[in-house]
Amino acid sequence: SSKETIMADANVHFFHNFLGKAFNKEVDVNADSWYMMLLTSSASPDLSSWEYEDDLTNEVGAGGEYATGGKAMTNVTVTLIDDASAPAWAVGTAYKVGQLVRPASANGHVYRCIVAGTSHADTEPTWPTAPGEDITDGTATWEEAGAAYIKIDADDVVWEDSTITAAYAVVVDKTPASAASNPLMCLIDFGGSKSSTDGDFQVACDAVYGLGLIRVA
């Protein structure tokens, strides 16, 4: 048997219509019933045109613990993280794309890593404060990303003892209970097909870097 664990981090993308649905109260991230569905490499995801569950194509076939329509997600939460409570920048530290930090002394801004690398060994960068301005820090690059960010997080999703091959996961709001009206939240691109054979297939929200499932700066 073999197992597969995929980290949901830099390869997570909102469907373009999702934030509009959140603002017009079509979805309630904290209260609705969210599911994760898996798609094969034959799918051709379109972040612009895919809006509802019935837009999805090439779902993984039912088998083992995987059931058509995906698996319910647990402990989906939304947290506002301001500059004072964001993780503090540190010297000589490896950062990955999408990670957000504040300066060692909070300055009212948060910064998103846009080029992965290791921060300077002994000198903190002079942080820019203009919107979207970037700064090189060792081999990493940071971009000014506003005063705070919203983190959507959830428990890892695991299909135990299953034989699965998938290239994408999609987070779907099943509260409306109709494929034609179940909104799509985000797409997780695995970067190619990932497989388990009579083992656990796990999509892990990033706790190590504090990224959760997806962030909105």
pLDDT in tens, 24-40: 889 998 899 999 999 99
Tokens of 13: 């993308």
pLDDT tens figures, 119-159 = 999 999 999 999 999 999 999 999 999 999 888 888 999 99
Please report which helix (H) or strand (E) contains residue 128, including its range.
Answer: none
CB atoms near residue 190 (< 10 Å): 19
Report residue 208's pLDDT band, with 50, 70 and 90 as the boundaries.
Answer: very low
Interval 62-120: pLDDT, tens: 988 999 999 999 999 888 888 899 999 999 999 988 889 999 999 999 999 999 999 99
In angstroms, rounded to a whole number, what is the distance separating the alpha carbons of residues 84 and 105? 9
Distances (CA, A) of 100 to 89, 151, 162: 9, 10, 35
pLDDT at 101: 94
49 close to 174: Cβ distance less than 8 angstroms: no
Q: Copy the structure tokens of residue 111.
A: 């910064």
pTM, two decimal places: 0.81
pLDDT of residue 109: 96
Half-sphere exposure of 25 (CA within 13 A, CB side): 0
Give how far Cα 35 sits from Cα of 139, 157, 183, 208, Å.
38, 9, 11, 23
Question: Does residue 210 come out as left (phi exceeding 0), alpha (psi in the -120 to 50 range) or beta?
Answer: left
Query: What is the separation of C-alpha 190 from the centre of its chain, rounded to a whole number of angstroms?
Result: 11
Do residues 43 and 57 lie in contact, with contact meaning Cβ atoms separated by under 8 Å? yes
Written as one letter, the residue type at 159 is W
